[in-house]
Amino acid sequence: MPNNIKEISLEKNGDSSSLVILVHGYYKEPSRLADVEEEIITQLPNADILRPIYDKGRFMNADPFELASNIEALIDETYSQSQTGNNGGYKKITLVGYSMGALLLRKAYVYGMGSTEDSPIGGTPAHDWVRRVDRVVLIAGTNRGWSLDERPEDMNPVTYYFYRYVLAPIFRVLPYWRFLKSFERGSPFVANLRVQWVRLIQKNPKQIAPVVQLLGSIDNLVSSKDDRDLYVHKDFIFIPVQGASHTTLIQFDDTVVGQRCRNKFIEALTDSISHLREKYKKEQHILQELLDDSAKHIVFVLHGIRDTGGWTGDLRKEIERVATNAKIPNPKVVTAKYDFFPMGPFLLLPIRQRHVRWFMDEYTERIATYPNPDSKVSFVGHSNGTYILASALKQYKTMRIHRASFAGSVVPREYPWDQIIDEEGRLERLRNDLAASDWVVALFPKLFDQWNIQDIGSGGFDGFNDDTGNEFEGRYYKGTHGAAIAPANHESLAKFLLTGEIERNDKLMTDSQPLWLVVLSRASAVVWGLILLGVFLLYYFSYRLLGFSLDLYLVWTIISLIVLYVVTHF
């Protein structure tokens, strides 16, 4: 038995002509699904019930990728064994998952379909059992992952702010709850699954089983807006359950709400898909007609940490102008924005990963909104925007980018572009524009590059080491950190994104970087040390002049706080 599956139960019923796989949610005793299981037995008397029960402790650190892979292997094994029986094996398979268990089942189904980019056991061909799946029933499936970005309508403000600003920061840094963290919105497990799902629909829409989502009207964890990737499938049906919460949706008691939950579940389990589609067509929150499958090019334009992204709107207009003049269909330009935050936390704290998860959620939402099978995604980013894409390409194995343009990049020189571009083929072309006097990159991220710590560096000042990554670096733009995103360079950026052409204006370029900055950059550790020393001397002598005698530990504590403040607000 796999380590992360604590118990496997296979209950035989009737003539065992069909199979139902039932997967529970996070920290929910499998017995909590007793009402659901009882109804399955009643409605499908000839269906065996397979229950994989995984570790459900609050602090569990199970890897959801491995767990989903193990569930898929378990289904495949159970199905294969049934083929040796006298009845010829299971004729129909139904997947039923609750809450996070719904995502685990969807992931197992995706792996079974052969979409295994992020599978822990590597690429495997499609398995025969997936052809027998007649439907996937999601009960309050957390399809977009959990998030604290917005307060649920039914959660009081005190509880919400405690969760978001007190509990969540502690939760993220502790080495526990790995399983729960993996289901956060934009996380690799969630984002990869959504991308895989959309691509499977694009490739084989008729081979993907219908999906039904049951959702209570007062669910605090899941929103009706979280199913955009599922709506790409024309056989997705959303069924609202009035008065039910995330917990009461699986409680089929004698109350009015309990009976309503029971009846809706029976419909989702047994009614024909055509009947469900017709009955609930007015309940769908996203009509397939609103998904634009004509768009074949999506362009993300992403700003850095110290600007409000005003230039991104100007670049969007230039992209549209160049496309019109070249008689190229206008791409869908996404000028998404994230919160302004200071350089100190960016350099020293893992807060920057929050924006990677945010971007990947945006990425999945857009490819679901523009689900053309031939669509491509391009990217242009400045400063932290370049970090976001580079980090996403490393962590999210399903991510594919057509063309990417970097300016003022804070990505390490040693970033494995050869692997991403040449070996994996997940990025077609990279343009890296360097600014001659970019002291921000030359002095601050450069230290982390030299010491080989963190995941930031000086690729925007020194260039990249991999041949594929530095192919189009060329000369230097005159100016500082934002030189390559100045309006005078927008036409060049637009042409690269639309046609792949590299055309730089010679008036904007120079052949060399200032010698003083090159020297200081190579001695970036000394620069950091001088800053620390200056702050120490300033505050040490200030206190001496005021007549205070401070403990050395206290002095360094004060200095550390001052340095952090100075770095984050320069």
What are the pLDDT digits (tens) for 131-171? 999 999 999 999 999 988 888 776 778 888 888 877 777 77
pLDDT band at 307 (very low <50, low <70, confident <90, very high): low
Does an H or E element contain 552, and which? helix 552-569
Indicate whether 130 and 105 sit together in one domain. Answer: yes
Give me the DSSP letters along 322-380: HHHHTT-PPPEEE--------HHHHHHSTTHHHHHHHHHHHHHHHHHHS--TT-EEEEE
Distance CA 295, CA 528 (A): 48
| Pairing of β 18-23 and β 401-407 | unpaired
**pLDDT tens sequence across 444-473:** 888 878 878 778 899 999 999 998 888 887
Please give the backbone phi and psi of residue 195, each rounded to the nearest 5 degrees, phi first: -65, -45
Distance CA 459, CA 435 (A): 11
Indicate whether 447 and 481 sit together in one domain. Answer: yes
Among residues 450, 496, 449, which one has the least CA distance to residue 474? 496
Q: Assess whether pLDDT exceeds 80 at residue 29.
A: no
* 497 Cβ contact partners less than 8 Å away, ≥ 6 residues apart: 299, 319, 331, 378, 380, 403, 405
pLDDT band at 290 (very low <50, low <70, confident <90, very high): low
Single out the residue in 230, 263, 289 at which a domain terminates.
289
Distance CA 440, CA 483 (A): 12
Residue 127 DSSP symbol: P
CB 373 within 8 A of CB 396: no
Among residues 288, 282, 197, 193, which one has the least CA distance to residue 239? 282
Mean pLDDT of 93-103: 97
What's the first-to-final CA gap in the chain, in angstroms? 56
pLDDT at 565 (0 to 100): 45
CB 178 within 8 A of CB 135: no
pLDDT at 353 (0 to 100): 84
Indicate whether 44 and 175 sit together in one domain. Answer: yes
Q: Name 110's bridge partners.
A: none
* 505 Cβ contact partners less than 8 Å away, ≥ 6 residues apart: 488, 489, 492
How many domains is the chain built from?
3
Q: Name 433's bridge partners.
A: 407
Indicate whether 252 and 353 sit together in one domain. Answer: no
pLDDT band at 60 (very low <50, low <70, confident <90, very high): confident
Please give the backbone phi and psi of residue 567, each rounded to the nearest 5 degrees, phi first: -65, -35
**pLDDT tens sequence across 338-372:** 765 555 555 555 567 888 999 999 999 999 999 99
Q: Assess whether pLDDT exceeds 90 at residue 37.
A: yes
Sheet holding 47-54, edge to edge: 5-11, 47-54, 18-23, 92-98, 133-139, 211-216, 236-241
Indicate whether 275 and 345 sit together in one domain. Answer: no
CB 196 within 8 A of CB 115: yes
Domain that holds residue 69: 5-289
Indicate whether 216 and 305 sit together in one domain. Answer: no
Indicate whether 284 and 388 sit together in one domain. Answer: no
Distance CA 281, CA 334 (A): 30
* Residue at token pair 């496997």: 8
How far from the centroid of its chain's Cα atoms is residue 316's Cα? 24
pLDDT at 543 (0 to 100): 57
Single out the residue in 289, 322, 350 at which a domain terminates.
289
Q: Which of 64-73, 200-209, 443-452, 546-555 has the lowest mean pLDDT?
A: 546-555
pLDDT at 568 (0 to 100): 41
Indicate whether 381 and 430 sit together in one domain. Answer: yes
Q: What is the CATH number of the domain that holds 491?
A: 3.40.50.1820
Indicate whether 348 and 496 sit together in one domain. Answer: yes
Distance CA 478, CA 480 (A): 7
Indicate whether 244 and 333 sit together in one domain. Answer: no
Indicate whether 441 and 550 sit together in one domain. Answer: no
Count the neighbouring beta carbons within 10 Å of the beta carbon of residue 447: 20
For residues 541-553, one letter each, b for 16 or more C-beta atoms within 10 angstroms of the residue's C-beta and e for the rest, the string is eeeeeeeeeeeee
* 384 Cβ contact partners less than 8 Å away, ≥ 6 residues apart: 303, 304, 305, 346, 352, 355, 410
Among residues 236, 233, 238, which one has the least CA distance to residue 206? 233
Indicate whether 352 and 284 sit together in one domain. Answer: no
Among residues 82, 136, 172, 66, which one has the least CA distance to residue 276? 136
Among residues 226, 211, 241, which one has the least CA distance to residue 146? 226
Q: Which of 392-401, 537-546, 561-570 has the lowest mean pLDDT?
A: 561-570
Q: Assess whether pLDDT exceeds 60 at residue 276.
A: yes
CB 435 within 8 A of CB 481: yes
